[in-house]
Amino acid sequence: MEKNVTDKEADDLTNIRNDLLEIIKEEERVLTGEIPHEYLSDKLGRKEGTAQAVVLVKSTDEVSRILKYAYNRNIPVTPRGAGTNLVGSTVPDQGGIILDVSGMNRILSFDPDTLSVTVQPGVLLKDVQAYVEERGLFYPPDPGEKSASIGGNIATNAGGMRAVKYGVTRDYVRALEVVTADGKVLNVGSKNVKDTTGLSLKNLVIGSEGTLAVITGAVLRLVAKPEAQISIVVPYPDLRTGIESVLTLLRADLNPVAIEFMERKVVALGEKYTGIVYPRPDAGSYILLSFDGHKEIVEESVRKASDLARETGAMDFVVLNDREKSNAIWAVRGDLVNAVEAVSEQEPLDIVVPIDRTADFVEYVNALEVKNGIRLISFGHAGDGNVHLCVVRGDRDEETWEKDLDQVLTELYEEVRRMGGLISGEHGLGVSKRKYFFHETSKEIVDLMNRVKDAFDPKHILNDQKSYVR
């Protein structure tokens, strides 16, 4: 039993546990009392909430019955999957019940005729990708965290490195099974390619961070598996030259899968963390490219990209023909947040600006670093203007860190707004960015979003006061 609880609280906890066991039946799937920290936080583990219970559900029916129970008793519910969120969306800061869907992790059906696969929300991204590729098809969304659950990807409309060519998670969700706050099971969307039959409720749920409904199933769109894939490291003397070359590549209609940018100082952190060494350590920055498709088309794209890169100031054009070497180079890019975290606590941001302002924004970040004396490390998706930024704590005490972080975020987000950008491209708002979202967003838009919340969840039991929810 939790320490320092009153007799009434202990009785309430016992009653809730007994009520939940009427639904779940298996005691090991209902946790009360000392709730493990992992359920009370997100991947970073720095924000912690409280909860009366964790329920490990295994079916849509169980989700429905739990939500009906919670709704009738005004008990807050926090949905969660693999727990890889970075902005506190899975932190139960209202107390109540944590609804863990990670056990709903089955691939239900594979339909090559409609190019789709139907999955439960707890299936991991990497498992879906492996499953469909073994059958000759391809699920393109590719956020950095491959151990994230599909439900979480959908709840945040996750993007990733392949977004330049393939788009984001929203573009690959055909249909959803969802359970509303009062326990109703709805099927929104369909396997059909086109749909103008009323409002797209499916697209309202995608990216809503668990505030509108609990996702219990998804029909995902697939595409043909590319015949060939190749990656290239392009070193440049400085970041602006590298990023400006990206616009040339995009205008040339070479259809790259991914275009990533990294300053040399950031790559050095990744090299130290992984033990993998990048070519041309004398470079000031790198552009990491990949192409896929038919072999002949890929080879022609690489040849054209090489010519354009050299014309725009590239120091070299290193084609990664060896699969092992290519995977290693991409592993450094994928581990950059972990590499920074190994040095110091940091606040990870996922700002997005118009692609032609990416270099301007990174230069602003570097100037802000000097001005405020707080370390800022930037890298990201040059092909879509999504700048990942780590604000590094260093040796600051808690009070100083909170003050300095708020000052930097305020200035950063004001500059983002001035450039026509947004404060989140793929992580979501959670609890970390709410203050800045409300500051940068008109009251009329916030009011409209909250009227949608009221329609889905009149009692506000689902992830209340997260993201846009007041």
Query: Would 401 be classed as within a structural domain?
Result: yes
Q: How confident is the model at residue 5 (pLDDT cuts 50, 70, 90)?
A: low
Give the domain extent around 21: 7-100
Instruction: Please tell me whether residue 236 adopts helix, strand or coil conformation.
Output: strand
Name the one residue in this structure whose structure tokens are 């209340």: 464
- Asked whether residue 59 is domain-assigned, the answer is yes
Q: State whether 273 and 289 are in the same domain.
A: yes
Question: Distance (Å, rounded) from C-alpha 416 to C-alpha 352?
Answer: 8
41 with 118, same domain: the answer is: no
Decide which of 295, 320, 336 is a domain's last residue. Answer: 336
Whichever domain contains 275, its CATH number is 3.30.70.3450
- Output the pTM of the full model: 0.94
Query: What pLDDT does 144 receive?
Result: 85
In one letter, which amino acid is 434?
R
Tokens of 466: 């997260």
Q: Is residue 465 part of a domain?
A: no
Q: Which of 224, 257, 285 is the last residue in one of the domains?
A: 224
Structure token pair of residue 221: 């769109």
CATH code of the domain containing 418: 3.30.70.2740
What residues does 388 pair with on adjacent strands?
350, 379
One domain, residues 220 and 122: yes
CATH of the domain at 11: 3.30.43.10
Q: Where are the alpha helices (DSSP H) in 252-353?
A: 264-274, 295-311, 323-334, 336-343
385, part of any domain: yes
User: How far apart, in whole angstroms, are the C-alpha atoms of residue 50 and residue 54?
Assistant: 10
392 and 432 housed in the same domain:
yes
Q: Provide CB contacts within 8 A for 455, sequence distance 6+.
A: none
Task: Please tell me the distance from the alpha carbon of residue 300 to that of residue 296, in angstroms, as a whole number.
Answer: 6
- Number of neighbouring beta carbons within 10 Å of residue 266: 24
412 within domain boundaries = yes
- Domain stops at, among 224, 253, 281: 224
The residue whose two tokens read 């919340």 is 453
- What would the pLDDT profile of 163-201 be if each residue is shown by its tens digit? 999 999 999 999 999 999 999 999 999 999 999 999 999
The answer to whether position 469 is within a domain reads no
Identity of residue 31: L
**pLDDT for position 12:** 81
The pLDDT mean for the chain works out to 95
Give the DSSP letter of residue 143.
Answer: -
> Are 90 and 136 part of one and the same domain?
no
pLDDT per position as a tens digit, 313-357: 999 999 999 999 999 999 999 889 889 989 899 999 999 999 999
Is 4 a residue whose pLDDT tops 80? no
Evaluate whether 76 touches 97 at the Cβ level (below 8 Å).
yes
Do 233 and 212 fall within a single domain?
no
Distance in angstroms (rounded) separating the CA atoms of residues 116 and 105? 17
Number of domains in the chain: 4
Do 250 and 160 share a domain, yes or no?
Answer: no
